[in-house]
Amino acid sequence: MSNNEIISVKSLKKFFGDVKAVNGISFTVNQGEVFGLLGPNGAGKTTTIKLLLGLLEPNEGEMRVFGLNPERNEVEIKRRIGYVSEEPLIFKSLTPKDLFNFVASIRGLDEINTTNLAKEYLENLDAIEYYDQLIATLSHGNKQKLQIIAAILHEPDLLILDEPIAGLDAKSVRVVKSLLELHTQRGGTVLFSTHIMEIAQDLCDRIGIINRGQMVGIGTIEELRRQANKVGASLEDVFLRLTEQDTSVNEIIQKLRASFKVKNL
């Protein structure tokens, strides 16, 4: 393992009964990098992330996070990670204020500093008005903002975000993007998953395209274009080629054209 490899995954497999959720995935994420796992729903992104966090046990393969094995060093790894899960916040009977105090206490952070920092983030994300409101009553997007703030308060080395942008409005997306940039500028690393092309294209230094539990392409956009034999193509075209969906998409479009013509006559 080279020194700047923050995540290293080799031939990782996780099966749920007959479902091969992760079926032989390999990739590395280097320090300071924003790495995106891009794939359709059900591709295996969340399962990969949960394996890295030690929340699931793999059937086969090797993983290292900070050079450690997540199955054996879950606590040490979690100390250095900020994690934003796919499901919006679990602590529904708390207010944001309670939540941030809780995070400060379990992470051993200074309560006053943490409160100030959390409030500053809430203001930046247009959510300060909800500071004393029950989390259960907040929208998906606002819950997501709280999760993101809770994940960065301890200045983790690695941020892992599972579909973080899905429920956010345009302005908050912009703020979250700059948060991620600031995080990498201070030497932090980001792994996140998304099914949205533009997000991957905008945010990632490198992208791993996951389809049906397998990594079908990996690299910068330029490298992915070469792997798909599509020089100058959009990420969407590259994605459809690498996930072997381009032919079926074309057929669907042909059929749609035909049926629209029939109806117009």
Ligand X SMILES: Nc1ncnc2c1ncn2[C@@H]1O[C@H](COP(=O)(O)OP(=O)(O)O)[C@@H](O)[C@H]1O
Residues of this chain that bind ligand X (CB under 6 A): 16, 19, 21, 39, 41-47
Nearest to 103 by CA among 149, 141, 135: 149
Nearest-angstrom CA–CA distance, 31 and 138: 35
CA distances from 185 to 90, 123, 160, 180, 196 (A): 30, 22, 16, 9, 24
> Residues 8, 23, 28, 46: which binds Mg ion (CB under 5 A)?
46
The per-residue DSSP string of 208-259 comes to EEEETTEEEEEE-HHHHHHHTT-TT--HHHHHHHHTT-HHHHHHHHHHHHHH
The verdict on 211 binding Mg ion (CB under 5 A) reads no
**Residue 168 and residue 210 in contact, taking contact as beta carbons nearer than 8 Å:** no
What is the nearest approach in angstroms of ligand X to the Cβ of residue 165?
14
Among ligand X, Mg ion, none, partner that 70 touches (CB below 5 to 8 angstroms by kind): none
Give min distance, CB of 36 to ligand X, in A.
Answer: 12
What's the min distance (Å) between Cβ of 99 and ligand X? 25
Which option in ligand X, Mg ion, none does residue 211 bind, with CB closer than 5 to 8 A by kind? Answer: none
User: Residue 100's closest CA among 135, 124, 140?
Assistant: 135
- Compare residues 104 and 161 and give the one whose CB is closer to ligand X: 161
Examine residue 47 and tell whether it contacts Mg ion (CB under 5 A).
no
- Binders of Mg ion among 80-99, rule CB under 5 A? 86
Specify the residue, 43 or 148, whose C-beta has the smaller distance to ligand X.
Answer: 43
CB of 114 or CB of 194, closer to ligand X = 194
47 binds, among Mg ion, ligand X, none (CB under 5 to 8 A by kind): ligand X
Nearer to ligand X, 156 or 213 (CB): 213
Q: Which residues of 119-131 are buried (b: 16+ CB within 10 A; e: fewer)?
A: bebbebbebeebe
When the beta carbons of 53 and 117 are compared against ligand X, the nearer one is: 53
Chain residues that interact with Mg ion, rule: CB under 5 A = 45-46, 86
